[in-house]
């Protein structure tokens, strides 16, 4: 409130201040370490970086006076950074969609992420491996082996949370129906359930 009234001339904050705030007299915005999320092991990293920098840059110049944005980054040539600075969403979306198409990633395909967790790392790894074997049998039984891609098991990017070791399995297909058919078969066989040891996320918003 003090910043909005002009009592405070400098506002310093985390990513939270990039969203939902509208101060008409801001003439200068600085973005520090703009590429923090760019190299995370998540296929949406570039998308999130573009979105965040665009939002932060949009805080300046909302009034009569023009604004200036200074972006500090270790990846100045990154398309996500360059195009966000220009607010060129259409070009970024076209480039990113082509990358996703070549790699077979959402939104070109649909995805399900299954995370297996246990306080014992060996139990978590064994359960994840058994899950992959079940998925393989299910694809063969349903005759959809050529329509589904299974990756893993592999340790999650954040391998341990609250004392639980985490392994993930990624399932991708052209349509959500194929994934649901496979997961339904696994549940019917008693090999998949959402409980304290297993989390199933269809169309996950993040892979961390």
Q: What's the pLDDT band for 112 if we cut at 50, 70, 90?
A: very high
pLDDT tens-digit map of 43-101: 999 999 998 888 877 766 666 677 788 889 999 899 999 998 888 999 999 999 999 99
Q: Is 35 helix (H, G, I), strand (E, B) or coil?
A: coil
Mean pLDDT, the chain, as a whole number?
89
More confident residue, 4 or 132: 132
| pLDDT given at position 139 | 94
Mean per-residue pLDDT, 89-118: 95
| pLDDT given at position 57 | 74
pLDDT tens-digit map of 27-45: 888 888 888 888 888 999 9
Share of the chain above pLDDT 70, in %: 97
CA–CA gap between residue 45 and residue 47 (Å, rounded): 5
Mean per-residue pLDDT, 102-127: 94
pLDDT at 184 over 90: yes
More confident residue, 17 or 202: 202
Mean per-residue pLDDT, 127-146: 94
CA–CA gap between residue 131 and residue 116 (Å, rounded): 9
CA–CA gap between residue 34 and residue 50 (Å, rounded): 9
C-beta of residue 112 within 8 angstroms of C-beta of residue 183: yes
∠ CA 31-88-83, nearest 5°, is 50
């Amino acid at each position: 409130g003090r910043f909005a009234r002009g009592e405070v001339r400098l506002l310093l904050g985390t990513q939270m201040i990039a969203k939902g705030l509208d101060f008409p007299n801001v003439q200068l915005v600085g973005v520090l370490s703009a590429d923090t999320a760019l190299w995370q092991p998540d296929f949406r990293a570039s998308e999130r970086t573009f979105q965040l920098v665009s939002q932060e840059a949009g805080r300046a110049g909302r009034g009569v006076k023009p604004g200036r944005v200074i972006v500090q980054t270790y990846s100045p040539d990154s398309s996500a950074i360059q195009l966000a600075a220009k607010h060129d969403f259409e070009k970024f979306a076209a480039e990113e969609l082509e990358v996703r198409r070549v790699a077979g990633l959402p939104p070109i395909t649909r995805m399900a992420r299954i995370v297996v967790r246990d306080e014992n790392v060996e139990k978590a790894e064994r359960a994840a491996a058994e899950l992959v074997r079940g998925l393989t049998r299910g694809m063969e039984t349903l005759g959809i082996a050529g329509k589904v891609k299974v990756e893993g098991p592999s340790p999650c990017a954040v391998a341990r949370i609250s004392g639980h070791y985490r392994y993930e399995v990624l399932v991708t297909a052209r349509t959500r129906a194929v994934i649901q058919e496979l997961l339904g078969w696994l549940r019917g066989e008693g090999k998949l359930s959402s409980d304290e040891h297993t989390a199933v996320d269809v169309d996950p918003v993040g892979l961390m």
